[in-house]
Amino acid sequence: MNTEIRGTAHFLQQENVRLQKENERLQQEVVRLRLILRNLGNLNQMTLAINSNTDVLALLDQILQAALDSIQAEDGSLLLVDEETKELSFVVVHGQVRTKLVGHRIPLGEGIAGWVAKHGESLVIGNVQNDPRFSAQTDQAYQFKTRSMICVPILFNGRVLGVIQALNKSNRKEFVNGDMVMLNVVAQLAAGAIARAESILLNEE
């Protein structure tokens, strides 16, 4: 076997190993996506079945967890608009500051979450430190470091009910537009849950 043939054989062996690893990775990704879709389907059924006995906060917690799992984000939060005070309130938080951040409030329009709530538009930001809309106040108050972010509005009939934000993708990877699409799907679930809960409360009054 001459040098050229040996080189070709070696290349083909390496390429075969690479393709096998890529195939395994894709199979794992398919399994992960199937689990996510099943989870989202279950959450959708739970949203449709909301009644006066439903723990809506626990359901929103599950919805947020599904959101973060689906895009492999390390931290995230779900904030609701307080129409009276014109503020966003952190109602569900996952990640490093979960026990500290719940109940924290920021004015509408402040920071990236406030901007999204005010304008009703989704954002994907690779490096928040370079974005003029980013406010470091919350990070500084809770000793947290936001690197990257996706923030999407929770919309129902044109009304912004709140926002969902996902922070810092795992392994320091960058968020992509596909992640934003997935987060918007989850935000629709959250919107349905909140709207149904509000409707039940109004009917009980």
- What CATH number should be reported for the domain holding residue 70? 3.30.450.40
Six-digit token string for 26: 């894709």
Question: What pLDDT is attached to residue 29?
Answer: 64
Angle at 18 between CA 12 and CA 23, to 5 degrees: 125
Domain presence at residue 197: yes
Domain presence at residue 3: no
Question: What pLDDT is attached to residue 78?
Answer: 95
Residue 189 and residue 40 in contact, taking contact as beta carbons nearer than 8 Å: yes
Question: What pLDDT is attached to residue 6?
Answer: 67
Domain presence at residue 47: yes
Domain presence at residue 101: yes
Closest CA to 175 of 78, 94, 89, 75: 75
Question: What pLDDT is attached to residue 41?
Answer: 76
Closest CA to 69 of 114, 31, 101: 31
Domain count, the chain: 1
Domain presence at residue 130: yes
pLDDT (tens, 9 = 90+) of the chain, 205 residues, equals 566 666 677 777 787 777 777 777 777 666 666 766 777 777 778 777 788 888 888 888 988 888 888 888 989 999 999 999 999 999 999 988 888 899 999 999 999 999 999 999 999 999 998 999 999 888 898 889 999 999 999 999 999 999 999 999 887 888 988 889 889 988 998 998 898 888 887 776 5
Q: How far apart are the first and last CA of the chain?
A: 87
This model's pTM is above 0.85? no
Distance between CA atoms of 129 and 146, rounded to whole angstroms? Answer: 8
Domain presence at residue 22: no
Question: What pLDDT is attached to residue 32?
Answer: 63
Question: What pLDDT is attached to residue 108?
Answer: 92
Question: What pLDDT is attached to residue 205?
Answer: 57
Domain presence at residue 13: no
Question: What pLDDT is attached to residue 154?
Answer: 95
Residues 6+ apart with CB under 8 A from 116: 122, 123, 151, 152, 153, 163, 165
Residues 6+ apart with CB under 8 A from 56: 50, 193, 194, 197
Question: The domain containing residue 139 runs over which residues?
Answer: 31-204
